[in-house]
Amino acid sequence: MKSPVVIATFYRFVRLHNFTELRDPLLRAMLDNQVRGTILLAAEGINGTVAGKRSSVELLLDTLRQDDRLRDFDCKLSFDDEMPFYRSRVKLKREIVTMGIDDLDPANRGTYVSPADWNELISDPEVTLIDTRNDYESAIGSFDNAIHPDTASFRDFPAYATQNLNPQKNRKVAMFCTGGIRCEKSTAYLRQQGFDEVYHLRGGILKYLEEVPEADSKWRGECFVFDNRVSVNHALEKGSFDQCHACRRPITDADKSSEKYQAGVSCPACHDSRSSNERGRFREREKQVRLARARGEQHIGADAAEQARQRKLTKLAAKQAQRKTEN
């Protein structure tokens, strides 16, 4: 029987003043353990989603925990029958989740609420429940009675909060997102704006789905995930949605029956916003994907710099191994 692929989603807000020095060792650990996915590093912390055999993923997570600053990072596990990522990447960023507020201190976060206590909190009529995810994510699933800001990007959340939330009116605010990182940063922003009683779901939706029985759940629909599974159901199994490979939005069979849908080129949600030149580029890309698939290859569009870095690390490891043999 084929062993399932383990997908680990993790993050931690913590001061990493030497974060640039962590990139190559982490990429080496991913390549050595045949773990794919992406890890983001910034001065404010670490954020990643990776996949591989259970033993390989655990070895990578153990490597992270060897750094005392990362020892207590939040991690959620889910499973799939196929590898959801094409390559291994470690990227340096200004923020591990981009809000675009330079003077924000993520350590000044709101109050964690465990999945076991979440239902009670959001049943309180005085609580304003906010989905901090993007519009296309909340469209396929969310909690009962949640407010959907309909933001296209997490960068839009500060403007939404300024225009729609008031610390005098919204005295209790609870927020959630996929894995916990966006809602945690959102609570720090609201506290900076004068909101006192702010809560966020620890571990995000994925941890809630893992720990709360479906019979007791206040979650409705599926949860969008940023990998090839597209979405997961309440059992954290691959969901029912496909994905438009032009705009990355989740799509249904009905969407694929639309005259505005063309595989790899457009879907009903993005067709009218694409220029003829863009659709032409997408058609060529889709053609190359199909040709690669016919050859039994993967067309992943990896950028040249990342590929060069991986080749450099591989050569370095080979030289080190050769020196050990010679000595």
- Identify whether 200 is part of a domain: yes
Are residues 151 and 247 part of one domain?
A: no
Are residues 216 and 115 part of one domain?
A: yes
Are residues 256 and 213 part of one domain?
A: no
The boundaries of the domain holding residue 84 are: 5-92
Are residues 246 and 210 part of one domain?
A: no
Are residues 138 and 190 part of one domain?
A: yes
Are residues 146 and 52 part of one domain?
A: no
* Whole-number pLDDT of residue 1: 46
Are residues 124 and 32 part of one domain?
A: no
Number of folded domains that form the chain: 3
Where is average pLDDT lowest: 81-90, 163-172, 282-291?
282-291
* Whole-number pLDDT of residue 274: 86
- Identify whether 202 is part of a domain: yes
- Dump pLDDT digits (tens) for 148-187: 999 999 999 999 999 999 999 999 999 999 999 999 999 9
Q: How many residues does the chain have?
A: 327
Of 73, 70, 82, the residue nearest 7 (C-alpha):
82
For residue 321, pLDDT over 70 is answered with: no
Task: Check if the beta carbon of residue 18 is closer than 8 Å to that of residue 69.
Answer: no
Mean pLDDT value across residues 276-296 = 81
Helix runs in the chain, H state only: 19-32, 54-65, 115-122, 135-138, 157-164, 181-192, 204-211, 253-256, 276-294, 304-326
- Dump pLDDT digits (tens) for 292-315: 767 766 555 434 344 444 444 445
Provide the annotated active-site residues: 177
- Identify whether 326 is part of a domain: no
Distance, in Å, from the CA atom of 39 to the CA atom of 33, rounded to the nearest integer, reads: 15
Q: Which of 59, 92, 125 is the last residue of a domain?
A: 92
Distance, in Å, from the CA atom of 243 to the CA atom of 110, rounded to the nearest integer, reads: 34
CATH of the domain at 84: 3.30.70.100
For residue 289, give every residue at least 6 positions away whose Cβ sits within 8 Å of its Cβ, in sequence order, or none: 264, 299
Where is average pLDDT lowest: 83-92, 259-268, 278-287, 297-306?
297-306
- Identify whether 247 is part of a domain: yes
Are residues 156 and 74 part of one domain?
A: no
* pLDDT-derived band at 239, boundaries 50, 70, 90: very high
- Identify whether 268 is part of a domain: yes
- Dump pLDDT digits (tens) for 4-60: 899 999 999 999 999 999 999 999 999 999 999 999 999 999 999 999 999 999 999
CATH of the domain at 159: 3.40.250.10
* Whole-number pLDDT of residue 319: 54
Compute the radius of gyration of the chain from its Cα atoms.
Answer: 21
Average pLDDT of the chain to the nearest whole number: 89
Of 231, 234, 233, 197, the residue nearest 215 (C-alpha):
234
- Identify whether 234 is part of a domain: no
- Identify whether 171 is part of a domain: yes
